[in-house]
Amino acid sequence: MATMLTRGSGGRSRTTRVGAAVVLVPLVAFAVFPLLWMALSSVKTPEQLYSGDPGWLPDGIDWGFYRRVLDGTPFTTFLTNSLVVGLASTAIVVVLAAMAGYGLARGRFRGRTLLSRGVLVAYVFPTILFVMPLFTLVSDLGLAGTYPGIVLVHVVFNFPFCVWLMMQYFRTLPLEVEEAGRVDGLSHAGVFVRIAVPLAAPGLATTAIFGFVNSWNEFLLSFVILGSGERRTLPVGIYNFIGSEVADWGPLMAATTLAVLPTLVLFLLVQRRITGGLTGGAVKG
């Protein structure tokens, strides 16, 4: 009887793995194909890339497009701008999201449930709906075309989802530990800083990574707020390779590949922490 159960469970397990592979392999291929095509196109020769049939693989490795990007454009300036904006906005949004998420997870006040749901609902609206209000706000503050202006916009843009992530993660933490801290004489702020925040480190890391990646990749708001100024971020700078009638595909592929590498490396380094943060926040989601 036990042998039959073992065989049956093993068969179901194999069936599940095969079914998962059948579903996931095409999805992964669909997601990876554009990145692979972009990277391969960036090292093709101009003659091959702009021919009628460029083919899948490059005839030979040619770094000419990368030299044009690095030597002929202010790419490093765009890269530095994106790093400054991404790191600054991420630091601010993580601090604010941690405080707001903890308050929504542990607070007991009227309207808490409605506010908790409203935080996530605010994130589902298209970004384009907020372009004019945010541009008007930044302009009235005299921050258009500046680092503080775009950092403020990115904080507003990332705040709802980051609050929701932190709120879900704080809900998974054991209340007994916090109550023990209060018995030892800690205030609410002390419990938050000395107990809740250290326990929520995986959630904070996940929130920081999502905030940084969103800021790094964001184009529309950066394009409107920064315009053609010297503080353009990387997505806005790469947009310069697209002309009114034709795109300069070679440098565009090379610049985009360089722009993807930092976030790809970051994800590979911290993928386990991201998974832990997401699954932890999903327990009581």
- Asked whether the predicted pLDDT for residue 50 surpasses 80, the reply is yes
Q: What is the mean pLDDT of the chain?
A: 84
pLDDT confidence of residue 272: 66
Spatial distance between the Cα atoms of 285 and 276, rounded to a whole number of angstroms: 14
- pLDDT one-digit tens code per residue, 60-110: 888 999 999 998 889 999 999 999 999 999 999 999 999 999 988 887 777
- Asked whether the predicted pLDDT for residue 138 surpasses 90, the reply is yes
Global confidence as pTM: 0.81
CATH label, 72-282, candidates 3.30.70.1140, 1.10.8.100, 1.10.3720.10, 1.10.10.60? 1.10.3720.10
pLDDT confidence of residue 276: 57
pLDDT confidence of residue 108: 77
Domain ranges of the chain: 2-49, 72-282
Residue among 282, 263, 127 at smallest CA distance from 203: 282
pLDDT confidence of residue 242: 81
